[in-house]
Structure 1
Amino acid sequence: MLRKIVLFCIVLGLSFTLFAQRIVVNPEPTREANVLHAKRIWRVIDLREKKNVTAKWPRNPISNVLYNAALSGKLRPYRNDSLNKWYDLEEFVAIGADTFFVKKLIDPNDEDFYTIDTVVDHFKPDEKINLLLLMEDVYFDSKTSREYSQITAIAPLYNKTVSNIDLGLLPLCWFKYYDRKNLESDCRQIFVNSLMYNSGNPYHKFSYMDWFEQRLFTSVIIKESNPYDLFIMDDPEVKRNGINALIKAANVNEQKGNREEDYYER
């Protein structure tokens, strides 16, 4: 019995070692001439939804993985989805901090005499980040007769508060998920060895890269590339109506499937 336990521990240790040595394999490049159709899509992942809640696993939540990678310099925190300008470390640390003004009485018996203290609440990614915004390129490759979706960037979303005023949801920053030119580290190189909870089989090692590449998350499309650079909610046909926006997003998904069927029939 003792021999079996020792053998099991050795195998388990080897599996952890092998997992920690995983490397990222880039997808095969696609010739531009083979691309029959291409669109850029933005979608939101709600980490509080049942299928996505494993990404908030307390032992290693994805929000901490991304935030700590930026703090350590492993990932560049970009200012927008153009991915051409980034924050330095000091700027990044200050982004998510909430600022409050607190009135402090000088004379407890006279409310007219007081000072205003500024209180800075430092950013706590595991508490503040419940949504992820993905940017991906969707294209049809005539050589393989398949439609592909390649995530290119990720932005954690949080509620920004300044002077007790809620400014709503804002991107903390943008991270490159896939750097085609291999000029810098991207999220895949962080995610590939970053464990997450595997609800299907807790004994099988599972990474955040597996989760994204196998598309095991649920999401809602909020924008597709268009001449006016409008989000679905800002589309004149939607009229900022939530139900209309969901219907429009569903139509975008349906059009993707229809296009793929059309190409197969040609």
Structure 2
Amino acid sequence: MKKYLFSALAIACSAAAFAQQENLSNSTKPIHAEEPPVDGYFVQSDIENRKVIPYATIRQTDVAYKKRVWREIDLREKMNKAFASPKSRLIDIIIDAVMKGELRAYDPTPTENDPNGDSFKNVLPPDQVMARFGGDSVLVEEFNENNEVIASHYEARAFSGENVIKFRIKEDWIFDKQRSVFEPRIVGIAPLITPQIPGMDSNVGMVPAETGGGAANFDPFDPFAVQPEQNQAANAPSNVPVPTVNTGLFNPQVDPTPAFWIYFPEARHILVNKEVVNRSNDATGLSYDDIFVKRMFASYIVKESNPEDLRIKDYIADGKERLYESERIKKSLMDYEQDLWSY
């Protein structure tokens, strides 16, 4: 009997020893060529093995209030810098998943069955996804010693996500009376691109840096940007004449538009395994799914659901007033939640 007992204990101890991770801090064994060393002192595998935590089920009869809003995330803001980190850039993750067939992209072009282009009606093929960013191939010419073109061929263009600095989010704010919870749920995410108009200089509408510090950071394609001439006129001394702006120049206002839409419930299964770079701590273990579900980003509202289907910029011309309107909509949502309860 004792012999069987000792055998069982020996087997259990050996199994536990094999199950434990090797102590990388005190490793003395030589590493074989086919087994590269671990980059660090522990194997970080929790992100790769994570699964999506499903939302609570919502029944239509339990929805007492619902409000749809569209908001934009500007990656140039300090709180959103992680989205543009070269180590884990959000647009690179999305493009890679789309090109591998792990994620579907939806066409943002308004059609008869999708008037706004954001209802996930029409699937966008992967080859057309790259065309939205300027094409997936480039013509390369070959020259001889006399600098004459002797041949040409097409080469695949490497995609760079540095040009994508904004994302648009479509979400619903829902009050579930069954659970007594008022929460936002993201429906879709779209990277924004600025359409390139032939013959238009990319610097058209830009004010030189010499005109002032505020004008140097002015973005003519930002619908919420404050016009530089307003700041210049307000800050100029009374005895210094303000230079006039030549109204005859071609100064179009081109709004950033969605390149494609991603259905967020589908994207969660990809984003949950992608770690977000944290400036303060490398061991936070936050994924992009955590960032979106926990609302760890800065944004401003550009539209709320209304009978006329108007955007904020459609009824407010001034950029500063649009920001005030965005904050007013945010406050109205928070006030609704506070008004639900009495203390």
Shorter-chain TM-score category?
0.7 to 0.9
Give the match's secondary structure for 2:54.
coil
Match of 2:49 in 1: 21
Deviation at 1:25, TM superposition (A): 2.1
Residue 18 of structure 1 aligns to a residue whose secondary structure is coil
> Per the alignment, in what secondary structure is the counterpart of residue 25 of structure 1?
coil
Aligned residue pairs, count: 233
CA distance in 2, matches of 1:254, 1:121: 48
Contact 2:190 2:259 in 1 (8 A): yes
Q: Tell me which residue corresponds to 2:42.
A: 12
User: Of 40, 45, 63, which residue of structure 2 is paired with 1:35?
Assistant: 63
1:129 to 153, 164, 169: 164
Residue identity opposite 1:207 in structure 2: S
Higher CA-based Rg: 2
Q: Over the residues paired in the alignment, what is the CA RMSD in angstroms?
A: 2.6
Q: Deviation string for 1:131-172 (max 9, x for gaps)?
A: 010000101111222211000100001122142436541211
Aligned to 1:94: 131
Runs of 4 or more above 4 Å deviation: 119-123
- Contact 2:63/2:176 (CA < 8 Å) preserved in 1? yes
Q: Percent identity?
A: 28
Residue 188 of structure 1 is aligned with which of 268, 271, 295? 268
Counterpart in 2 of 1:231?
A: 311
Length-normalised TM-score, structure 1? 0.80
Match of residue 208 from structure 2: none
Looking at structure 2, the residues matched to 247 and 123 of structure 1 have their Cα atoms a distance apart, in angstroms, of 40
1:15-51 CA distance string (max 9 Å, x none): x223211111211111222211101110000111100
Say whether the 8 Å CA contact 1:97–1:120 is kept in structure 2.
no
Three-state SS of the structure 2 residue aligned to 1:58 is: coil
Contact 2:312 2:322 in 1 (8 A): yes
Counterparts of 1:49-68 in structure 2, within 5 Å, are 49-68=77-96
For the residues of structure 1 that align with 2:309 and 2:155, how far apart are their CA atoms? Answer: 35
**1:139 aligned to which of 155, 174, 187:** 174
Code of the aligned partner of 1:176: Y
2:187 pairs with one of 152, 157, 160:
152
User: Which ranges in structure 2 are unaligned for 5 or more consecutive residues?
Assistant: 1-22, 28-37, 109-117, 137-153, 203-253
Q: 1:41 to 1:168 in 2, by over 3 A?
A: closer
Q: Identify the range of structure 1 (120-129 vs 136-145) with the bigger mean alpha-carbon deviation.
A: 120-129
Deviations 1:48-96 (A, max 9, x none): 1100001111111111011111111111111121101021122222111
* AA of the residue aligned to 2:287: S
Partners of 1:120 and 1:223 in 2: how far apart?
41
Instruction: Give the CA deviation at 1:125.
Output: 4.1
> 1:133·1:154 contact (CA, 8 Å) conserved in 2?
yes
The residue type equivalent to 1:263 in the other structure is L
Q: 1:17 to 1:177 in 2, by over 3 A?
A: same
TM-score, normalisation: structure 2:
0.63
Q: Whole-Å Cα distance in 1 between the matches of residues 285 and 24 of structure 2?
A: 21
Cα distance change of structure 1 residues 31 and 187 upon mapping to structure 2, 3 Å threshold: same
* Secondary structure in structure 2 of the residue aligned to 1:251: helix
Structure 2 distance, partners of 1:189, 1:259, is: 32
Equivalent in the alignment of 2:101: 73
